[in-house]
Structure formats: C-alpha cells, structure tokens
Amino acid sequence: MARLLYKLGSTAHRRWPFFIAGWLLLVVVVGAIAGVASKPFNDEFTIPGIPSEKAADIQKELFPDSGDAFDDATVNVVVAAPKGHTLAEKPYADAIADLVTEIPGLPQMDADAPQPGLVDPTTAADALEQQYVDGAKAAGGDVAQAKEDAAAISPLSADGRIGTLSFEWDVDTVADLKATSVEALEDLLHETTADTGLVAEANGQGMTVQEAPGGTAELIGLGIALVVLLLSFGSLVAAGMPLVNAVFGVGLSMAGVSAMTAFMDLSSSTTALSSMIGLAVGIDYTLFILARYRTELHHTDDRRHAAGIAVGTAGSAVVFAGLTVLIALSALSVVGIPFLTSMGLAAAATVLIAVLVALTLLPALLGMTKSWTFRGRHVPVPGLRWMRIRQYSPKRDQDGLVVNNGVRWARVLAKAPVAWVLGVVVLLGALAVPISQMYLAFPSDSTAASDTTQRKAADLAEEAFGPGRQGPFVVVVDGRGITGDEQRTEAFDRVVDWAAGQDDVANAQLVATNAPRDDKGVPNGPATGAIIQIVPASGPDDPKTLDLLEALREGQSAIEDETGTTVGVTGLTAITTDVSDQLNGALPVYLAVVIGLAFILLMLVFRSILIPLTATLGFLLSVLATLGATVAIFQEGAFGIFEGQPIVSFIPIFVIGVVFGLAMDYQVFLVTRMREAHVHGLSTHEAVVDGFRNSARVVTAAAAIMIAVFSGFILEDDAIIKSMGFALALAIVFDAFIVRMVLIPSLLYILGEKAWWLPGWLDRILPNVDVEGASLERDSIPGAVARADDVDDLDDDLDQDRELAGV
C-alpha cells in the first residue's frame, strides 16, 4: 500500500493542475445535480417492526385521517387564571377570546381551515360534558361515569382555573415549521395576557423547530482550529491547508447528500452528523499528512519525493484510520432505525471524501504552493511584520535527534508505567460510576429547560390534570374479524374494561370509532375499528408508566383471543419507549460488528494481537467514563451547569460509534510511528519514545481541534445537540490525552517486545499492507538527498527560500 500511495502522492504533487481541476469539476457536477434534481428532505419518523409502529399502521388503515404522533404540528396552549380565580371571569375570558381570534392570523396558519380545538376551555368543557351526559342517557348508561370520562379528557381543570386550547400549523410536517412562526405565537401569548394577569404558555410538537446544527458552532470550531494550526506550523499557508481541505470536503459531501434526495428519501437530520464529523476528521487527516511532509523535508530537497513519502506513510495511516471511522458509522445501519442509518451512511461518505481529499488534493496544493507552504511566519500587517507567529527551535541530543515535549513525556511514563496504568484505570473507572444510574428516554416538554414555554405549559397541565395527560397511550382495536355489529360493540367495551383494570390507569375510555357519520356528525352505520385512550396515573418518564405499557403488551394476546379483535398500543410515549428498546437491543450486535471488524483491521495495521486488544480496552474505558460524566452533568445536574433531564435514548450508541472511530484514529496516528521505528530496528522502549517525538505534537493538535469543533455544539439551544457535543468533546479529552497519551504507551513499556507478538500461522495469513512504509527508501529516487537542516530554519532564510522556489 505504501508504494501505491507514494505514487499517488507524488503524481498529485507533480500534476497538481489536473488534480485540482478534477476536484473542482466534481464539485460543479455534484452541485449542479443537487441544484436541479434535489427534492425536499422527508422527515417522516418511521421504524418498521416495532409494536407501536404496527399499531399506528392499523390505525391509519381504520382511520385514514388520523395524524402522526411525530409529524403533526399541533400546539397546545395552556392558560391559567391567578389562584382564587377562574377562566370564566371576564378579564380572563376576554383575553382568551382575543387569543382564539388572533391565532388563525399567525404566519403558517390557514385562517379558513377549521380548528376544532381552538375554543375557549370553559365553553368546550361544558359542551363536552353535555355531549357525554346526553350520550349516556340515550344509551341508558351511567351518567356519573359519563361525567367522569368527560372530566378525564376535559380541556378545563376541576377548579376552572387552568384550561387548554389547541390548533395545528398549516404545514405538511413539523420539519416545515419556521422559527418565526413560533416566535410570533410566543409574542401573541405575551401581548394578549400582559395586562390581565392571565398566564399563557404553549407546548406540543408544533413548538419544535427542527433546525440543523451549525453556523455559529462550526465557526467557533474553525476559529480555534486556525489558532491551533498556526501554533503547530507557524505558517499562514500551511495552517490554511487543513481548513481549506476540510471545508471543501464537507461542502462536497453536503452537496452530495442534497443530490441523493433525488433518488431516495432522506431526513433533514442526515447532514447534522456529517458536518460535525467531516470538519473534525478532514482537518485531522490533512494535518497528519502535512506534518509528515514537513518532517520529510528534513531529509530531501525533492519536494515531490517528500510529498510521496508523506502520503505513502502518513497517508497509509490515514486510510486505515478512516476505515475504522467508516466501519463505526456504517454499522449504525444494524440498529434498524432509518434516520440513524441515513445519518451514519452520510457521515461515512463524508469521511471517505475527507480521506480522498487528504490523499490527493493536499499533495496537489503542496505542488501548487511549492516552497511557499511553510512561509508566512510574520504577521501581514504594516509595521508589525517583525512579529513572528511562532519561533520553533527544537533542542537536539548528542545524536542530533529532536528532544521535544513528546520525548520528555514518554520518558516520564517510562519511569513508572505500572503506576500510570493503575492511575488511568482508577480515574476513568471512577468517572464511569454514574453510568449505573443512567435513565434513557426521549426529550419531552416535561423534561425541557424550566425557563422554556414548553416546560411551563407542561407544569401547568400536570398541575391541572395530573401527569398522565402529558403522555396518554392509544389502544387501536381492529374489529374487522368479527362478523356482527353488536358483537363488535361488545368487544370494544370489553377492551375498554380490560384497559381500565390495569394498574396505574387514571382513566380509559373509547374516544372514537370509524363508523360512518351523517352531516351532523352522528354515527349512522357499523364501526369496524375503535380508538381507546388510556390516561396513566404517572407521567411519561415515570417507570410506572413504562410498567403499564409492558402490562398492556403482555395481556394483549389474551384480550385478542377473548374478543376476536386485533389490539395494538401506540402513542408518543409508546413509540419512544419502543425506540429505546430497539436501541438497547441493537447495542450488543453493533458493538460486536464494530469492534470485530476494527480488531481485524488493526491487526493488519500493526501485525499484532495485543496492540489491537489494548486499543479496544482503552476505548471501552474512555467511552464508559464519557457516558458516566454525561449522566452526572446532564442527568443528575452536577455542578449546576445544566438542568437534570433523561439522557436521550440514542446518545449512547451514537457516542460509542463516533468515539470508537475517532479513538482508533489517534491509535493509528501515534502507534504507527512507533511501529515504523520498531520495524527499522529500534527496541520497543526506543520506538515508543520515537513515536512520541514524531507524533505527539500532531495528535495533540488534532485532538485539540476536534475538541474545539465538538465543543462549539454545546452552545446550540437544542438539548440533544448540546449533550451530543459535550459527550463527544469529553470523549476526545479522555481518549486522546488519557488513554492514547498515557495508558497505551505505559502498556507498551510493560509488554516490551511481546507487544508485537503475532502467531506464525496468522502472520502468514495476514497480508502485508506496509503501513509504516518499510518498502519506501528515502534515497531510492534520484535527487533525494539527505540533509539535517530544519525546514523551519530554511524557510526563515530568504536566500534559501528563493533557491527552493526554483526546485
């Protein structure tokens, strides 16, 4: 592989106009396809195979006009009079009347569309109770029970102080909702209640604006990355190359995702992970090869040869590092959740592009800039040209080898490697302890930040109606298998009784049938399906509610056999619970696929069993510590940084996938240099020191950049993106600086020459991929002349610069 990549790198350097033109042409073609043929993103949330999704499919068959729990842009407005007053009193009733009148005029509202829920709560509650009582009397039923059922779904609290009214935005899905529309509603609520004492808050799916993360977060990450790169290279031109390559790769990837919408349905969330990962790895991969290129200029005046060596050695490491990330991201498809699959595959494609850009576009840019690559050390401001970005004058030992901080740190570790290993295990193990208290759930209005209108509305609704009203279960009853109309009616009633008899049920009642109706809405024909609403006594995030769902599912077969119906449980709470179960069930399979394939890949790279094993164990320590710290900070609210709320269900598997790929990046970057030194005759102890001499600074810079990129997302308003950015940034801190910089070298010191052990039969089976570039001899090409001058010193000399410019 090293030979092949050498030819690719040296050719790209020599034929740089063709390579640069080729990449630009590709951007134009993909951009044109995206501009002409792309379609809108499809944010329909479906997970085939889960019980709640099957129930929802039956509901759509029986009730074609029924909505979707995730896609309906419904808003619930909760209004509350001051304590001791009721909503029926004039000042509050007038303010509510104004709201009812003004809401249809908001942006993204159809003023002519009927809004059955947009009614004064007092009026609606009276009408609902009368309807239930009249129905009970007509059927000879229990009037008291009818009043109780009406109160269970009434929009008005028992004391008349708190009520709800609802409406739906005129959009196809929640993804089409604009932030300006939500802001206009919030302003309207404030204006119409400001002088009355009435409180009005809003929640529901229609208060969630789905915006892709980025913008400010990415700019902050890029700004910090530029500073790190300037300190690393001391050159404006060199510092700009990783940024240019990363932005170019991400831009091409985003255009590619947009173009793919012409051929398949993709969700708007597809681009979120791609931009986050693409920037991070795009900078890292380019940085690694560029740093190796600068090192090779210490040994040769032939810049084309140096570019070839850099791509042949560091580029080989980049290929395998990229493959580990590709495996980790692509394997998200085994979870069976479409939006995670699309996110993973899109991000994997972005990583692939980042690898190709680093291998071809970077050497082409080096060929274009020639000796100017490491120039530009002075501040380009008149009067300040004397200021240098960085002065690099490394110390050398008696053999002429650089003695930098990486070497010093490696020697510190060598003095007590066992103590360092124990210290890392204890530290990361202690940080992982809170993971035992992890509670996974999907975010809801009741878990939103306490200063948001969604949380305030949820708290008011819970105060008025109890916690169960925030997450009712919907039981769909299919009676098409029953022949007689009377038998179907009896079956529906029996299912209601069965549901009401479960523990932790506040109310269960039949709320709709699919019977045909006349012009006045009165049923005038037989019903083949029914919807039963179950209001739990506990809230959506309460374990008792989940126990109720489990009890309903366990008793489902028995009630179906008894009544001859088909029964399914759905609703937002049921769907999110099923998604969490799906994620938890897929996690072992996902880990097995990712770790298994990556272990084989690392054996190819290092030709060792113990090094891939220590790499994997180190990853497990860092990811467990990351999840433990995330639980402590986000769920338990440690240090008061964030309000406590459940961890989003897909965060663990997402963090595991992304962090595993990135962790193996640093493993490959650092240990391949150790492997290279060992292959060229150094002992394991000396190879560890040499690996730190050549790679510690690059890995540190790469990790700092990635931490900066991920940390920028903590500033996002969305709680999911915030926790995701925090977890990924913290994981890089743990893995890069504690595991890869402390644990792995300490273990290599302890293992000694055994670290490179590989059974003879396995050594014969595994192909030799030559990642360390043993087949590349620096003097194997005419014109490659060894030299000891430091390239920084050369570039500081103007005469040398002029000489090199003519090479």
Measuring CA to CA, which residue among 695, 668, 669, 690 is closest to residue 679?
690
Q: What is the 3-state secondary structure (H, E, C) of 271-339?
A: HHHHHHHHHHHHHHHHHHHHHHHHHHCCCCCCHHHHHHHHHHHHHHHHHHHHHHHHHHHHHHHHHCCHH
Backbone angles phi, psi at 449, to 5 degrees: -60, 145
Measuring CA to CA, which residue among 243, 253, 455 is closest to residue 351?
253
pLDDT band at 411 (very low <50, low <70, confident <90, very high): very high
Average pLDDT over residues 184-192: 92
- Report the distance separating Cα 603 and Cα 610, nearest Å: 9
pLDDT score, position 105: 92
- Report the distance separating Cα 32 and Cα 17, nearest Å: 22
Q: What is the DSSP string of 651-687?
A: HHHHHHHHHHHHHHHHHHHHHHHHHHHHHTT--HHHH
How is the chain split into domains, by residue range?
Answer: 2-39+212-437+577-798
Q: What is the pTM of this model?
A: 0.79
pLDDT score, position 19: 94
Backbone angles phi, psi at 403, to 5 degrees: -115, 95
Buried (b) or exposed (e) across 392-404, using 16+ Cβ within 10 A?
A: beeeeeeeeeeeb
Sign for the CA dihedral angle at 794, 795, 796, 800 comes to positive
Measuring CA to CA, which residue among 803, 775, 777 is closest to residue 789?
803
Distance, C-alpha 660 to centroid of its chain: 14
Instruction: Give the range with max mean pLDDT: 178-182, 394-398, 743-747.
Output: 743-747
Percent above pLDDT 70 for the chain: 88
- Report the distance separating Cα 597 and Cα 330, nearest Å: 12
- Report the distance separating Cα 509 and Cα 499, nearest Å: 9
Measuring CA to CA, which residue among 350, 341, 342 is closest to residue 256?
350
Instruction: Give the range with max mean pLDDT: 141-150, 318-327, 420-429.
Output: 420-429
pLDDT score, position 268: 67
* 251 compared with 215, residue with greater pLDDT: 251
User: Tokens 């959740």 map to which residue?
Assistant: 337
Neighbour-count burial of 409, counting CB atoms closer than 10 A to its CB (0-12 exposed, 13-18 middle, 19+ buried): middle
CB 708 within 8 A of CB 228: yes
CB 587 within 8 A of CB 655: no
211: pLDDT strictly greater than 80: no
- Tell me the per-residue pLDDT of 674-731, one tens digit each, with 9 for 90 and over: 888 888 788 989 999 988 988 888 888 888 888 887 887 777 767 777 888 888 889 9
Measuring CA to CA, which residue among 77, 74, 71, 79 is closest to residue 109?
74
Provide the strand spans (E) within 169-207: 199-203
518: pLDDT strictly greater than 90: no
498: pLDDT strictly greater than 70: yes
45: pLDDT strictly greater than 70: no
Sign for the CA dihedral angle at 133, 135, 140, 145 comes to negative
- Report the distance separating Cα 231 and Cα 695, nearest Å: 15
